[in-house]
Amino acid sequence: MSRIIVVGAGINGVTAAIELKKRGHNVVLVDPGPLPHPFAASTDISKAVRAAYGADEDYTDLATRSIELWRKWNQEFGTQFYHEVGVMFVRRRELKPGDFEHESFKTLKRRGHKVERMNSARLWKRFPAWNPELYRDGVLELEAGYAESGRVVATLIERAKSLDIELREGVRFSQLHEEDYGVSEIALDGGKRIAGDFVVMAVGAWTPYLLPFTKKFFRASGQPVFHLKPRQPELFAPTEISGARCYSRRRKEFARVSIIHVPGAVQCADCLLARLHVLRYARWAFLDRARSGAPRINNCCGRLWAWV
């Protein structure tokens, strides 16, 4: 049995801590808090969960497994963290080999996933908010959906406590203390130290700042995420599949629009206003906010509530 220090209590840190504890180790989990940390990437109302990763079989494998595990967690925790509402990727032109959507469709179909090609006006009819003349083609992955990620982390923190993981909330890792044979302890802000046999660093976008040697290969980046409140939410609640096919939130009336590449494509928005906001708020999210201190770049998810 080893004493293992896990630094960072986002989704990766807290799940690592629980798994290590289950394997019989003594685990210390360290985070400045408050937990779930408001700037952690994991602390969000929702995160998309989907197996569509183009032609990338490894990612598709991992995501397929994660969907099974999300269903298991829904049961195990007796609450719905994962909402299987479907995820759709769309294009204005017909899909062709090499396109992310085309490759995703091919891969998922071959692997037996429930997936539909959205390439006829008849299919689009079930999504009345979408203009089939504008969006000619796409992929709808029916078993995909979203996880209430902040709520999941909060629940896992409680589980970690109940498993007697030593939670050090309110302390900040400052550096690794290395001996010839490896890392023997970590130093905290203020000079205190915690000794351990192994250290797991799970500090997300803070990594290049806390472990400067990783600057050579890690760079923190971000995605602005926009929450749009449709004037007619009923248009986003198709009757033929349950839930909303945009990222529906707890209250079911919001469509989440994720801006994946900036300045780039709106993943699922039939809305000119959203496109204009992309350029305006991408600058705000990436440039202006990043200036006020490096680690805050992690918070550049630039959430915006817009009325459309």
Ligand X SMILES: Cc1cc2nc3c(=O)[nH]c(=O)nc-3n(C[C@H](O)[C@H](O)[C@H](O)COP(=O)(O)OP(=O)(O)OC[C@H]3O[C@@H](n4cnc5c(N)ncnc54)[C@H](O)[C@@H]3O)c2cc1C
Report the nearest approach of ligand X to the CB of residue 31 (Å). Answer: 4
**Three-state SS across 181-204?**
CEEEEEEECCCCEEECCEEEECCH
Report the nearest approach of ligand X to the CB of residue 148 (Å). Answer: 12
Residue closer to ligand X, measured from CB, 17 or 95: 17
Distance separating alpha carbons of residues 301 and 145, to the nearest angstrom: 20
Residue closer to ligand X, measured from CB, 124 or 255: 255
**Where along the sequence are the contacts to ligand X (CB under 6 A)?**
7-13, 30-32, 37, 40-42, 47-48, 172-173, 202-206, 210, 222-223, 225, 298, 301
Residue closer to ligand X, measured from CB, 248 or 298: 298
- For 82, 95, 129, 138, 282, the CA distances from 124, given in Å and listed in that order, are 25, 16, 9, 10, 30
3-class DSSP assignment, residue 278: helix
Task: Give me the half-sphere count of Cα atoms (radius 13 Å) on the Cβ side of residue 31.
Answer: 25
3-class DSSP assignment, residue 170: coil
Q: Is the separation of the CB atoms in 151 and 80 below 8 Å?
A: no
Residue closer to ligand X, measured from CB, 49 or 95: 49
Report the nearest approach of ligand X to the CB of residue 178 (Å). Answer: 17
Residue closer to ligand X, measured from CB, 204 or 238: 204
Report the nearest approach of ligand X to the CB of residue 129 (Å). Answer: 21
Report the nearest approach of ligand X to the CB of residue 9 (Å). Answer: 5
Residue closer to ligand X, measured from CB, 48 or 308: 48
Residue closer to ligand X, measured from CB, 123 or 210: 210
* Structure tokens belonging to residue 287: 């440039």
Report the nearest approach of ligand X to the CB of residue 127 (Å). Answer: 20
Residue 72's H or E segment, with its range, is: helix 57-77
Cα Rg of the chain, angstroms: 21
Q: Is the dihedral of CA 93, 96, 100, 104 positive or negative?
A: positive
Number of residue whose CB is nearest ligand X = 10
Report the nearest approach of ligand X to the CB of residue 279 (Å). Answer: 17
